[in-house]
Amino acid sequence: MKTITLIGGIAGVLMAVFAYFAELYTWMSIEAVVTMGFAGYVLIITAIAYFLLSWLTKGVKELEVL
């Protein structure tokens, strides 16, 4: 699951960067750029949330042992 989330996060970063440059240099229509950028941001936020939650649950399990 971590590998899939990491790949999704990297894909989100690439999508957001591509959307930024597409808007900057008007490569595509604005609707497509906004949609692609939004999807990239959603992937980035999802990946960050997953890793933060897994880090927190790991910390809680370690505290329960003490």
Split into its structural domains, the chain has a count of 1
Spatial distance between the Cα atoms of 50 and 37, rounded to a whole number of angstroms = 20
What residue type is assigned to position 56 of the chain? L
* pTM for this model (two decimals): 0.84
| Contact by Cβ (8 Å): 2, 54 | yes
What is the distance between the terminal CA atoms of the chain, rounded to a whole angstrom? 28
Query: Which is more confidently placed, 1 or 40?
Result: 40
Domain that holds residue 47: 2-65
Q: 36-60, pLDDT tens digit by residue?
A: 999 999 999 999 999 999 999 988 8
Q: 13-41, pLDDT tens digit by residue?
A: 999 999 999 999 988 888 989 999 999 99
